[in-house]
């Protein structure tokens, strides 16, 4: 039997952004639900972080999730198995108060696992492993040790895998704990990586700049062969352009409507032509545009950061003290944006 595996959907992300919910909906309308119908899939496995904020779910985001996701799954007769992730657990040290259990009780087809549980999916026994924390760690490790399942699925923080592109996690549990299983599938990290046995499947869509050009989607899992097949999203939210005296006539702005675009300037010999290039981008009805130029700083040998200073203060002071013949207010604004983007990545 074929089942669908999806993880880290983060409904309500980016402060309940309508822009991102519209982008998400395109994935569900054009990719996810048509694939479920085509493959006659009747089971969906959600490996955690269905909602974005562990502190609270906005009413509009909850209504969006019900109307565009849960109602449709129920009406299609699809059973959903969902584990509690760290974003859906209210407290950091326990899973007992969690969004998916409290907010989705009206759906008889949604099964929520806040503790390790062995479940038969078709004829395959699967160990579902929710977020492991201080309260459940001992019982979770015991369940893993005593499990007779061939396959485990959960929301795990293991070391040695990519948390996001370019960053390997050094913290977390040792994946050797899961050597007994034929296959282990996990959410939590948003980019795909594996060691041949443990597979991080990644989330369905881009949410931050570090997701740009990283393959996303969901997976179809065969309970007989234990093989999984990716179904990728063809749509992007973030676009990076490199300006090298590029004629504005050559720029196709069609893909940028209601998208977030960054222009990195490598060569600009004619400011007027560059303005035409940027004006053409603005006329495409994009959502946000950032322009980044390459700067060379002459670092002062006397610059020292004080322990009492926060990161933003250090960045601002560094720019003010740098010997650079550029608009320091613009540079400060760009660095603050980059810092905020970095803080959004978990």
Q: What is the pLDDT along the chain (346 residues), one digit of tens a residue?
A: 899 999 999 999 999 999 999 999 999 999 999 999 999 999 999 999 999 999 999 999 999 999 999 999 999 999 999 999 999 999 999 999 999 999 999 999 999 999 999 999 999 999 999 999 999 999 999 999 999 999 999 999 999 999 877 788 888 999 999 999 999 999 999 999 999 999 999 999 999 988 999 999 999 999 999 999 999 999 999 999 999 999 999 999 999 999 999 999 999 999 999 999 999 999 999 999 999 886 555 555 555 555 555 677 777 777 776 766 677 777 877 877 777 666 655 4
Domain residue limits, the chain:
2-232, 237-294, 299-346
Q: Residue 61, Cβ neighbours under 10 Å: how many? A: 21
How do beta strands 217-222 and 228-232 pair? antiparallel
| 246 contacts: CB under 8 Å, gap ≥ 6 | 277
Q: Where are the beta strands (DSSP E) in 140-281?
A: 151-155, 162-164, 167-168, 183-187, 193-194, 198-200, 217-222, 228-232, 238-244, 260-267
Q: CA–CA separation, 293 vs 120, rounded Å?
A: 55
270 Cβ contact list (under 8 Å, min separation 6): 245
**Nearest one of 158, 156, 169, 176 to 116, comparing CA atoms:** 156
Question: How many angstroms separate the first and last alpha carbons of the chain?
Answer: 34
Burial class (CB in 10 A: 0-12, 13-18, 19+), 275: exposed
Fill in the DSSP letter of residue 150. S
DSSP annotation of 3: E
Tracing tokens 């040290």 back to the chain, one arrives at 93
Bridge partners, 228 (sequence order)? 221
Helix axes 311-321, 328-344, angle to 10 degrees: 160
Tokens standing for residue 168: 């390997």
**Residues in Cβ contact with 239 at an 8 Å cutoff, skipping those fewer than 6 apart:** 212, 255, 256, 259, 260, 261, 262
CATH fourth-level superfamily of 2-232? Metallo-dependent phosphatases (3.60.21.10)
């Amino acid at each position: 039997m074929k089942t669908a595996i999806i993880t880290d959907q983060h409904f309500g992300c980016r402060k309940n952004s309508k822009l991102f919910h519209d982008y998400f909906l395109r994935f569900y309308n054009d990719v996810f639900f048509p694939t479920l119908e085509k493959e006659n899939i009747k089971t969906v496995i959600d490996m955690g972080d269905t909602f974005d904020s562990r502190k609270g779910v906005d009413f509009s985001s909850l209504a969006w999730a019900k109307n565009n996701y849960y109602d449709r799954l129920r009406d299609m007769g699809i059973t959903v198995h969902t584990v509690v992730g760290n974003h859906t657990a209210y407290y950091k040290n326990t899973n007992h108060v969690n969004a998916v259990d409290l907010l989705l009780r009206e759906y008889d087809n949604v099964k929520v696992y806040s503790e390790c549980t062995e479940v038969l999916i078709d004829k395959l026994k699967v160990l579902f492993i929710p977020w492991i924390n201080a309260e459940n760690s001992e019982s979770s490790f015991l369940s893993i040790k005593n499990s007779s399942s061939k396959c485990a699925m959960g929301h795990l923080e293991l070391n040695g895998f990519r948390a996001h592109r370019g960053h390997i996690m050094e913290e977390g549990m040792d994946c050797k704990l899961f050597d007994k299983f034929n296959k282990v599938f996990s959410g939590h990290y948003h980019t795909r990586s594996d060691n041949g046995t443990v597979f991080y499947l990644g989330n369905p869509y881009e949410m931050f700049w570090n997701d740009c050009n990283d393959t996303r989607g969901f997976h179809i899992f065969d309970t007989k062969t234990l093989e999984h097949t990716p179904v990728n999203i063809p749509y992007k939210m973030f676009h990076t352009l490199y300006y090298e005296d590029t004629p504005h006539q050559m720029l196709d702005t069609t893909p940028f409507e209601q998208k977030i675009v960054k222009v990195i300037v490598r060569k600009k010999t004619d400011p007027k032509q560059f303005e035409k290039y940027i004006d053409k981008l603005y006329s495409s009805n994009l959502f946000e545009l950032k322009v980044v130029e390459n700067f060379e700083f002459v670092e002062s040998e006397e610059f020292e950061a004080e322990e009492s200073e926060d990161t933003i203060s250090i960045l601002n002071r560094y720019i003010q003290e740098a010997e650079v013949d550029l608009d320091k207010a613009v540079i400060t604004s760009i660095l603050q944006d980059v810092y905020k983007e970095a803080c959004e990545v978990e």
